[in-house]
Amino acid sequence: MSKSVRRFLSLLLVLQLIIPYSVFAAAVGEFTSVVGKVTQTRAKEVIKPVVKSPIQLKDLIITDQASSATMFFSDDSTIVLSGNAKMEIKEFLFKEKSRTAIFLLSIGKVTATVNKFIGGDNVFEVQSPTAIAGVRGTGFEFVEAVNVENKDMATVSCTEGSLNLSALSPTGEVVSTAVLEAGQMAVIIGGVITISAIAAVMATGITSSSGSGTAGAAGGTGAGTGGTAAAGGATGAGATSATVATTAAAGISTTTIVGVAAGIAAVGVAGAAAGGGGGGGGGGTPTSTPTSTPTSTPTSTPTSTPTSTPAPTPSTTYDATGTWNWAETYVYNNCGDPNIYDTGTVTIIQTGNTFTIAGGSVPFDSGTVSGATYTLTPKSFPEDGGTTTNTGSFTLSSSSTGTFSTVWTWTDGTNSCSGGNNGTTSKVP
């Protein structure tokens, strides 16, 4: 080996020792969209990425409120990091038929689209303090947050393919596992994985409430004996939102659902119960009517006409007058604001089929009653240079307990975003 070659290799070795490794590291992906305030920390250096900025191993990506970052990786996978989120590129190694990609999500929401590999080693995981989601398919959403009880909570929705889920203990040990299929959502709290078939609800969002509507696609049309609502749907005044429609149609029982799923399903099941039967009122079997005819023509013999069964009325009506405590069990928004779980107290005065509500910073002041369903009158107010409109409802399951669901939409005439919450309420003795 010549002296010049040895001198060059020695210089290269010295440079590698004194210059951070990240300078020599190869990019594993790049930013394809940067919205709002996004930072990229690499070897203690804070960078403000732009479109086409490279992403390297160990990079820490942080998004601020109302911000987002879309990243495309060398294995053709795409990750979208929503507002108020923090994620680290822990591992990333990609070859022809081998992939190891591990992302650490400290807080916030990640939406991933991942190409499926056939054969070879294939690891694509999102890890959080609460859970690990390992991709077996192509699409999922992972949210790490803190619930109303100040406990870490992960919500994972599978949009296509399937996921291997692992719930973690506070020390990071795997305490339970499950497989999440497309169209399912899992909530992981305290090492417990609860799966429900309401991923479609989260994908479509919760729409505004209405005093009457149609829930479900497979039932709810009365015939013959008065239109008893089938398990697949309920038509009538009790349907309060798209959440109600979807969860009622799915036939979800709150006894097997916790966390966010329970908050949504409770509203859905109660709403379906309140909706009762609608559709055709039904009639009895028609009979021939006797008429005056010539003696040579026999007349039909009249038969008794059965009385049609009246359609069931909405669920039991309660008097909600009094003071109520409320607590949010699930909060979501797509404006990038932090999901803060609130509690409060309100005073309700019910007079017949109307009521007023006051206190607790609730953006409503009145509404109407149909059975056990209380539909809040939509209300708008100026906020952040635009207008926010709130809609919602609550359903009582007894004279002292119930669930609620609200939705808000903000717009400034050009831009718009929305959010909402679900929760429980109990009457103060």
Matching CATH number, 20-204, of 2.30.40.10, 3.40.50.720, 2.60.120.1440, 2.40.37.10:
2.60.120.1440
Residue 1 confidence class, pLDDT cut points 50, 70, 90: low
pLDDT, position 36: 92
pLDDT, position 58: 94
355 bridge partner residues: 350, 367
Distance CA 270, CA 255 (A): 13
pLDDT digits (tens, 9 = 90+) for 23-78: 446 899 999 999 999 999 999 999 999 999 999 999 999 999 889 999 999 988 89
Distance CA 25, CA 42 (A): 11
Residue 326 confidence class, pLDDT cut points 50, 70, 90: confident
CA 169 → CA 135, 146, 151, 173, 376, distances in Å? 21, 15, 12, 5, 41
Residue 260 confidence class, pLDDT cut points 50, 70, 90: very low
Query: If you average pLDDT over residues 196-214, what whole number do you get?
Result: 41
Query: If you average pLDDT over residues 162-170, what whole number do you get?
Result: 91
Q: 């709130």: which residue's tokens?
A: 390
Find the range with the poorest average confidence among 5-9, 45-49, 144-148, 319-323.
5-9
Q: What is the chain's length?
A: 429
The domain spans of the chain are: 20-204, 208-220+229-278+312-429
pLDDT digits (tens, 9 = 90+) for 348-388: 999 989 999 887 666 778 999 988 889 989 888 888 788 88
Average pLDDT, the chain: 71
Tell me, rounded to whole angstroms, the distance of Cα 314 from its chain centroid.
27
Query: If you average pLDDT over residues 393-398, what whole number do you get?
Result: 88
Residue 163 confidence class, pLDDT cut points 50, 70, 90: confident
Distance CA 283, CA 286 (A): 8
Rg of the chain over Cα atoms, rounded to whole angstroms, equals 29
Largest CA distance in the chain: 133
Q: Does residue 190 carry a pLDDT above 70?
A: yes
Q: Which residue type is seen at 343?
A: T
Query: Using alpha carbons only, what angle is made at residue 407 by residues 244 and 313, rounded to the nearest 5 degrees?
Result: 35
The SS3 call for residue 66 is coil
Q: Which of 28-42, 106-120, 210-224, 262-276 has the highest mean pLDDT?
A: 28-42
Q: Which of 75-89, 300-314, 321-335, 407-421 has the highest mean pLDDT?
A: 75-89
Contact of 95 with 122, CB cutoff 8 Å? no
Query: Which of 358, 410, 424, 409 lies closest to 208, judged by CA?
Result: 409
**Predicted model pTM:** 0.48
Handedness of CA 161, 263, 381, 241 (dihedral sign): positive
Element (H, E) at 265: helix 259-275
